[in-house]
C-alpha cells in the first residue's frame, strides 16, 4: 500500500461552451493549481464549431474560404497547444486536464503516452479496438488507418492545459475543410461511425474519467458545473 497522500481530481462535464471561454477557464484553474490553491482538475465539454490552430499550424491548413466559415458559423482560433489545426464541434468530447505533474511525472512523453492509454481504454470499453501512434506527425489514437482522437497539450512549469478530443458522434464532414493535424490524407472517424452506437458525451466522459484516475493515480471528485466554471461566463 502506498504511503503517498491521495491526490484528488475534480472533474465534471460542462456541456457546450465557447472556445474562448474554455481558454479563460483553463488559465484561471491552471494558475490556482500552480499556486496550490486548487486540486487537479479534468474538464469535459464540447465546443461549438471551431477550427483551432496550434503552435505549429499554418493558416493554409484551413482550406475553407471566409464565406464558407461564416455561413456555417465556424470560428477560427489560434492557441498555444502543441500540434497543428484540428476541428472541435458538437458530438465531440473534449478533455482538458489541468494537473500538476510535479514531482514524479515530469516527463512530457510519458504524459502524452498516458493520455493515449486513457483514450484507448475508454474506446475499448465502448467496443472500439484502437491503437496509439506516437510520432509527432501522427500523434493521437487510431482505428486502423482512421484517426478517432487527437491530442494537443500545453505544459507550463509542469502544470498541464489543453488536452484531447475524442470523436463520439461528430459530423466528420467538417474535417474536410482543413488539413487535420497537417496530414493531407488522414481519414477521421468516430465511435458512432465505427460501432453504429450513439452515446451521450456525459456517458463517455464518465467512462473516460474512470480510466484517467486509474492511469494518473488520482481520487475522482465529481463537482457541479458551476463550481468547475469558477464563475466564468459559460457561453454557448
Catalytic residue positions? 181
pLDDT in tens, 137-168: 788 999 999 999 999 999 999 999 999 999 99
Give the alpha-carbon dihedral of 49, 203, 101, 106, to 10 degrees: -80
Question: What's the CA gap between 194 and 125, in Å, rounded?
Answer: 14
Average pLDDT of the chain, as a whole number: 92
pTM: predicted TM-score of the whole model, two decimal places: 0.94
Angle, to 10 degrees, between the axis of helix 108-125 and the axis of helix 201-216?
130
Strands 146-156 and 159-167: antiparallel
Q: What are 93-106's pLDDT values in tens digits?
A: 999 999 999 999 99
What are phi and psi for residue 118, nearest 5 degrees? -60, -45
Regions of the chain short of the pLDDT cut 70 = 1-4, 230-236
H-assigned helices in 55-187: 66-72, 108-125
Cell 503517498 -> residue:
4
> Can you tell me the distance from the alpha carbon of 40 to that of 97, in angstroms, rounded to the nearest whole number?
8
CA distance 147 to 30: 29
The pLDDT assigned to 99 comes to 98
Q: 3-class SS at 103?
A: coil
Asked if 180 and 147 count as a contact pair (C-beta separation under 8 A), the reply is yes
**Nine cell digits for residue 205:** 466522459
pLDDT of 56: 87
Quickly count: other Cβ atoms within 10 Å of residue 14's Cβ. 20
Q: Could you identify the residue written with the cell 507550463?
A: 156
Amino acid at each position: 500500500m502506498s504511503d503517498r497522500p491521495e491526490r484528488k481530481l475534480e472533474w465534471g462535464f460542462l456541456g457546450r461552451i465557447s472556445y474562448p471561454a474554455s481558454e479563460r477557464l483553463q488559465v484561471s484553474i491552471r494558475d490556482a493549481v500552480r499556486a496550490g490553491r486548487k486540486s487537479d482538475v479534468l474538464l469535459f465539454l464540447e465546443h461549438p464549431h471551431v477550427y483551432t490552430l496550434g503552435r505549429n499550424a499554418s493558416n493554409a491548413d484551413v482550406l475553407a474560404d471566409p464565406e464558407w466559415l461564416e455561413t456555417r458559423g465556424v470560428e477560427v482560433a489560434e492557441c498555444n497547444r502543441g500540434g497543428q489545426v484540428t476541428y472541435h464541434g458538437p458530438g465531440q468530447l473534449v478533455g482538458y486536464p489541468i494537473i500538476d505533474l510535479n514531482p514524479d511525472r515530469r516527463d512530457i512523453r510519458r504524459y502524452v503516452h498516458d493520455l493515449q492509454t486513457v483514450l484507448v481504454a475508454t474506446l475499448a470499453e465502448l467496443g472500439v479496438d484502437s491503437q496509439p501512434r506516437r510520432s509527432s506527425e501522427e500523434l493521437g489514437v487510431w482505428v486502423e488507418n482512421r484517426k478517432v482522437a487527437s491530442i494537443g497539450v500545453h505544459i507550463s512549469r509542469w502544470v498541464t492545459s489543453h488536452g484531447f478530443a475524442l470523436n463520439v458522434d461528430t459530423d466528420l464532414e467538417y474535417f474536410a475543410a482543413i488539413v487535420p493535424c497537417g496530414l493531407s490524407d488522414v481519414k477521421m472517424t468516430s465511435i458512432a461511425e465505427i460501432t453504429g452506437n450513439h452515446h451521450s458525451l456525459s456517458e463517455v466522459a464518465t467512462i473516460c474519467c474512470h480510466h484517467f484516475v486509474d492511469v494518473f493515480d488520482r481520487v475522482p471528485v465529481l463537482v457541479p458545473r458551476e463550481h468547475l466554471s469558477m464563475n466564468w461566463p459559460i457561453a454557448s
